[in-house]
Amino acid sequence: MDDFLLEFFPAVYAKKQRVKEDNYCKYDNQFVQLFTSSLYLAALVSSFLASKVCSKYGAKLTIFIASIFYWIGADLNAAAINLTMLIIGRIILGVGVGFGNEAFPLLLYEIAPVNCRGPINIVFQLFVTIGIFCANMVNYFVSNIHPMGWRLALGLDVVPATILFFGSFVIPETPTSFIKLGELQKGRTQLENIRGTEDVDAEFNQLVVACQLAHQVKNPFKKLTKPTSQPPLIIAILLQVFQQFTGINALIFYSPVLFQTVGFKDDASLLLSVIIGIVNVISTLVSIKTVIKFSRRVLLLQACWQMFITQSVIGGILFAHLNGTNSLGRGEAIAVVLLVCLYVLSFAWSWGPLGWSIPVETFPLETRTVGYAFAARTNMLFTFIIAHTFLSMMCHMRAGIFFFFAAWILVMGIFVLFLLPETKDISIDEMGEIVWKQHWFWKRYMVDDDDKNSYEKQIDDRQAV
């Protein structure tokens, strides 16, 4: 929004108004990127503390803390009078994201019935996309309120923060949290309330045994470094890296910038962002059905092909028709918008939800919290990297930025084809025997720790002789 640029980024506003300014570089500014990316760096750092709070005190308190940080950050952003105040507000919002991202998925996983965990995780992703859509709608409708529209856009964050604040008093603590604290009767009562039946003996006993096994692991991080824990850890981390190098967050964050680059005006760019948000929501809704019907690998591979083609064609159109100072023709510009919609469509029913649900499906209980924390922190780190570099990359690589992401998508497809096992309809207890020990690559990690130690001792003895 021009009023926002005039207030905090006057140099960017001046570049934007120049007729001959390079299309690819008019938003290339480190402080603009810092405004966007600082939230994710703060989320990364705060997640370490959030993990400890969630493990020790449960999800309810963690979510309550997240809502307080959201509230403070939104108020600071709306009242900002200089860039420092603005970025501090973003950092505080980022702390809220760090606490929220730690608590929400684990809460859902521990409450959901086993057969519903995949769809429930996608519902979580669905509401993320609804949030993005709502944000785009707010931006569009307040963009013509001068000069305070940007304050409304940032200040309305207090609405979801307020809902979250009161919701943290309403949501149930998970049965697993009570069992971990040794309050077995409370855990059983909570499980009966959530399931709506007293016939929970089998599930309750499984939770008790799982928690006892997890409690025996004094150092889950050390357990995570064992060879048998490496396959789910490596896959969880790589899924988060690849999820960001599809380019999705660069597109979501900077879609108005992209659409202005190809020739649309300010209002049209914001409206097109709303359309992208609608596509995102609809395709995530579709994924609730597809994740039940199709295998994880099929969905991910299909999406790789669709994203590779759309990114490559967008890059080709921009390379052929958009130089530093012109605008795309109407036909080419509409083609770019349609291709972006197809790209978002494929991501939202595959890499978006599955990037989060597959790690939760593969980590055993004793390392799930710390393993999931690794995945979440990897996601935040690479979200920060993409958010902080995309505008500069677009300035220097120009249309080549889309070929850059397309190349990464090709690598992702190869990874899924050869290294990602199928996890659909396989319980945690069966992962070792059915998945890891049968996989051509990961089975080498499945040597029992005692056997491995004995083997290494034999090698040491031989070397000593």
pLDDT tens-digit readout, 332-387 = 989 999 999 999 999 998 998 888 888 878 887 778 777 877 888 898 999 999 99
- Name which residue leads in pLDDT, 56 or 365: 56
Supply angle C-alpha 63, 382, 97, rounded to 5.
Answer: 15
State how far the alpha carbon of 222 is from the alpha carbons of 14, 199, 230, 294, 371, in Å: 53, 37, 11, 35, 11
Q: Do 75 and 397 meet the contact criterion of CB atoms below 8 Å apart?
A: no
Query: Count of domains in the chain?
Result: 1
pLDDT in tens, 380-396: 999 999 999 999 999 99
Is residue 106 domain-resident? yes
Lowest-confidence range among 179-188, 208-217, 298-307, 416-425?
208-217
CB within 8 Å of 2: residues ≥ 6 apart: 13, 16, 266
Q: What is the predicted pLDDT for the residue at 20? A: 62
Please determine, for residue 299, whether its predicted confidence score (pLDDT) is greater than 60. yes
Strand intervals (E) in 250-396? none
Q: What is the predicted pLDDT for the residue at 465? A: 40
State how far the alpha carbon of 122 is from the alpha carbons of 30, 287, 344, 421, in Å: 34, 7, 15, 20
> What CATH number does the domain containing 108 carry?
1.20.1250.20
Is residue 459 domain-resident? no
Average pLDDT estimate for 62-79:
96
Lowest-confidence range among 91-100, 126-135, 217-226, 272-281?
217-226
Q: Do 146 and 315 meet the contact criterion of CB atoms below 8 Å apart?
A: no
Q: What is the predicted pLDDT for the residue at 448? A: 57
d(CA 415, CA 434): 20
Please determine, for residue 78, whether its predicted confidence score (pLDDT) is greater than 90. yes
- Name which residue leads in pLDDT, 323 or 90: 90
Lowest-confidence range among 84-88, 327-331, 402-406?
327-331
d(CA 21, CA 71): 38
Is residue 37 domain-resident? yes
Is residue 236 domain-resident? yes
pLDDT in tens, 12-50: 888 877 756 688 888 888 999 999 999 999 999 998 898
Q: Which domain holds residue 255?
A: 22-171+217-451
Q: What is the predicted pLDDT for the residue at 288? A: 80
d(CA 235, CA 421): 10
d(CA 41, CA 377): 10
Is residue 186 domain-resident? no
Q: Do 235 and 420 meet the contact criterion of CB atoms below 8 Å apart?
A: yes
Average pLDDT of the chain to the nearest whole number: 87
- Name which residue leads in pLDDT, 210 or 392: 392
Is residue 184 domain-resident? no
What predicted TM-score, i.e. pTM, was given to this entire model? Answer: 0.83
Please determine, for residue 464, whether its predicted confidence score (pLDDT) is greater than 70. no
Classified as helix, coil or strand, 48 is helix
Q: What is the predicted pLDDT for the residue at 424? A: 84
d(CA 152, CA 143): 9
Q: What is the predicted pLDDT for the residue at 353? A: 85
Is residue 195 domain-resident? no
Please determine, for residue 455, whether its predicted confidence score (pLDDT) is greater than 70. no
pLDDT in tens, 177-200: 888 878 899 999 999 998 888 888
Average pLDDT estimate for 83-100:
95
Q: What is the predicted pLDDT for the residue at 124? A: 81
CB within 8 Å of 329: residues ≥ 6 apart: 321
Is residue 264 domain-resident? yes
Q: What is the predicted pLDDT for the residue at 451? A: 45
**% of the chain surpassing 90 pLDDT:** 47
Cis peptide leading into 147, omega within 30 of 0?
yes
What is the enclosing helix (H) or strand (E) of 349? none
Q: What is the predicted pLDDT for the residue at 118? A: 67
Please determine, for residue 245, whether its predicted confidence score (pLDDT) is greater than 80. yes
Q: What is the predicted pLDDT for the residue at 461? A: 45
d(CA 232, CA 34): 33
Please determine, for residue 70, whether its predicted confidence score (pLDDT) is greater than 90. yes
d(CA 347, CA 432): 29
- Name which residue leads in pLDDT, 332 or 55: 332
Amino acid at 346: S
Question: Residue 270 — very low, low, confident or very high, per pLDDT cuts 50/70/90?
Answer: confident
Q: How many residues does the chain have?
A: 465
